[in-house]
Amino acid sequence: MNVRKFSAKTSREAWRLVRDALGPDAVILSNRTINGMVEILALAPEDMSALAEPVIEKPAVSESTLAALGAKRLNDGPPAASSAASSAFGAGRPIDSDQASNLADALAASRGMPPVEKVAPELNEVMSELRSMRGMLESQLAEIAWSSQQKREPIKAAVMRELLSAGFSASLARYLTQKLPAGEKPENGLTWVKSVLARNLNVVSNENEILEKGGVYALVGPTGVGKTTTTAKLAARCVMRHGAGKLALITTDGYRIGGYEQLRIYGKILGVMVHSVKDETDLRIALDELKNKHMVLIDTVGMGQRDKMVAEQIAMLSGTDCKVKRLLCMSATSTGETLNEVVRSYQGDGLAGCIMTKLDEAATVGNVLDVMIRQKLNLYYVANGQRVPEDLHVPNQHYLVDRAFKLKRETAPFQYQDEELPLVIATTAHAMNDKSLREVTLG
């Protein structure tokens, strides 16, 4: 390979020298100004062809791709250099991928740099470190900014502390606090926050949505969230309104010891037959036989949100001829992170809604309300005990939000102090880009 250098006072003159010496198909390696002179490094077209083996036809690389390759991988000086290199291939002659790689290595060698394949791992490591540094800086800047804002606007700090103590996530608390109208008193600020939370909490305020319309409903969720008991409560409400002949119960719980027996006992008390199914075929047959029923309730086997069988369960319920509406049972005692993971796992092709369970056992309920707001879930019922059917209630969003802030008084040892708030805010720097936060309706 013979790389030649051409120098002239102007670019036009330098280009003319290159064209006269190497022809119009010359490959320009660099174009720079040194001591007032324009210096061009160029390569004859036959030397360029010798860099690649033309035996196997390679896919063509466009001019823009080649220019980007040279600029990105080799950091080749000013934009003029990459532009000149790109224009050198503008004669209508396509360059294949091997030639592009070889040219890149040739450019690197002319500057004493290692080949591209050796540089790439180092670049990846550098980019990883830069991303880590960026995240660290964002967190530190968020902490500093909040510390300053906390001193200027103590009302926002008070509202933030109330939200965190109620169990809401730091990212949602920060978002609402930032949107808080200016000049509000602490009590008015909290009232505004409560109204925003209630407005974004979707509840089914009339149980006729289920009891009068009827249909097939499957209660799904992790083990121990109260699916069987909640199924019995719903069954009792249906029997009280329409009679035992209008209801059918199905269980898919063939794994848990006593799972079928528990529902069978409830069914015996209500005078309702309980059908047990094992797979999609059994379920399809059972639903076909029960199509004359006003309501069919399906109690499913509990599975952890990371269990691969969750997807199989969703497929079974979605593979029937009639539409099965899935209601996710969400325990108010679970953390927000766990509940968010549960929703993502059980979402499938869409949930009809959810039922909040174990309200009576939860120290805070902001966590479950937070997830419902983010995931836009319809809340059908709230369960707060084991009594059938008394401990099942139609939800009221204003009551639930108000209860979230009242319960926090019982968790005083775990509430945040003023000096701790900046540290909490620092962790929300990345989470503020969450799309679900931008969808929260403020007014």
Domain ends where: 113, 136, 156?
A: 113
127 plus 109 within the same structural domain = no
Distance separating alpha carbons of residues 147 and 149, to the nearest angstrom: 6
Domain ends where: 73, 88, 113?
A: 113
More confident residue, 372 or 42: 372
Residue 403 lies inside a defined structural domain of this protein? no
Q: Is the pLDDT of residue 73 over 50?
A: no
293 plus 304 within the same structural domain = yes
CATH number at residue 212: 3.40.50.300
Can you tell me which residue has the tokens 């979707």? 202
Helix segments in 96-226, DSSP class H: 97-110, 116-152, 154-165, 170-178, 186-199, 208-211
Residue 50 confidence class, pLDDT cut points 50, 70, 90: low
pLDDT at 56: 45
191 plus 140 within the same structural domain = yes
313 plus 434 within the same structural domain = no
161 plus 278 within the same structural domain = no
DSSP codes of every residue in 224-292: TSSHHHHHHHHHHHHHHHH-GGGEEEEE---SSTTHHHHHHHHHHHHT--EEE--SHHHHHHHHHHTTT
123 plus 134 within the same structural domain = yes
Residue 154 lies inside a defined structural domain of this protein? yes
Q: Is the pLDDT of residue 302 over 80?
A: yes
pLDDT tens column, 219-255: 999 998 999 999 999 999 999 999 999 999 999 876 6
Can you tell me which residue has the tokens 């000049």? 183
Global model pTM greater than 0.85: no
103 plus 122 within the same structural domain = no
217 plus 188 within the same structural domain = no
215 plus 181 within the same structural domain = no
pLDDT at 10: 85
Residue 8 lies inside a defined structural domain of this protein? yes
Domain containing 91 equals 3-113
Residue 102 lies inside a defined structural domain of this protein? yes
Residue 406 lies inside a defined structural domain of this protein? no
Domains: count for the chain: 3
Can you tell me which residue has the tokens 């008015």? 188
- Cis, peptide link before residue 389, omega less than 30° from 0: yes
99 plus 237 within the same structural domain = no
pLDDT, mean of residues 164-178: 86
288 plus 425 within the same structural domain = no
Residue 88 lies inside a defined structural domain of this protein? yes
Residues with Cβ within 8 Å of 42's Cβ and at least 6 positions away in sequence, in order, are 3, 4, 5, 6, 18, 21, 22, 26, 27, 28, 29
Mean pLDDT of all residues belonging to the chain:
78
* Helix, coil or strand: residue 39: strand
* Helix, coil or strand: residue 389: coil
Least confident span in 53-62, 317-326, 364-373, 423-432: 53-62
Residue 27 lies inside a defined structural domain of this protein? yes
pLDDT tens column, 311-351: 999 999 988 888 999 999 999 999 888 999 999 999 988 89
Residue 407 lies inside a defined structural domain of this protein? no
pLDDT tens column, 244-289: 999 999 998 766 666 678 888 999 999 999 999 988 899 999 999 9
Pairing outcome for strands 379-383 and 392-393: antiparallel
233 plus 381 within the same structural domain = yes
